[in-house]
Amino acid sequence: MTYDLIIGKQSIDVFNYYNVDELHGLNRQDCIEYNETKKDAYIAGLCNWSPHNPLRAFVFINTYRFNNTHEDVSLVYHEMMHLSLRIHGWKPQLEEEIITFAEQQTNDFFKIYNK
């Protein structure tokens, strides 16, 4: 399966990429007004279906959130897990719980490993 990989420098980039004001419950104006920091962004990462082609997935990564730590890896991993579940099948009602658990376990591993 092919998908759109969007590597942005701020959250607004995903709205600009698709030239939309609304995207899966998120909106451009809220994004513009959000005070993004290196620890908190309107969108750190997002995986969903293209607003222009419901059969094509996309992964968006906001690199402004990168801090040169293992959490950069887990952010990408988190969104790629969403993508993998879309490609291979999943139980939508459990998706966020399953992926967040894997992300937390990845972060815990690196906390131990980096001691």
Please give the Cα distance from 47 to 3 (Å, whole number): 10
Half-sphere exposure of 44 (CA within 13 A, CB side): 18
* pLDDT beyond 70 at 25: yes
Please give the Cα distance from 114 to 15 (Å, whole number): 36
Please give the Cα distance from 85 to 98 (Å, whole number): 10
Q: If pLDDT is split at 50, 70 and 90, which confidence band does 98 have?
A: confident
The model's pLDDT over 58-74, given as tens digits with 9 standing for 90+, comes to: 999 999 999 999 899 99
Q: Which residues are 47's β-sheet partners? A: 59
Number of domains in the chain: 1
* Contact status, residue 4 vs residue 49, Cβ threshold 8 Å: no
Please give the Cα distance from 67 to 47 (Å, whole number): 21
pLDDT of residue 2: 84
Give the residue, 109 or 28, on which the prediction is more confident. 28
pLDDT of residue 113: 65
Q: If pLDDT is split at 50, 70 and 90, which confidence band does 23 have?
A: very high
Predicted TM-score of the model (pTM):
0.84
Find the domain containing 45 and state its range. 3-113
* Contact status, residue 77 vs residue 103, Cβ threshold 8 Å: yes
The model's pLDDT over 27-47, given as tens digits with 9 standing for 90+, comes to: 999 999 999 999 999 999 999
Return the amino acid letter for 76: V
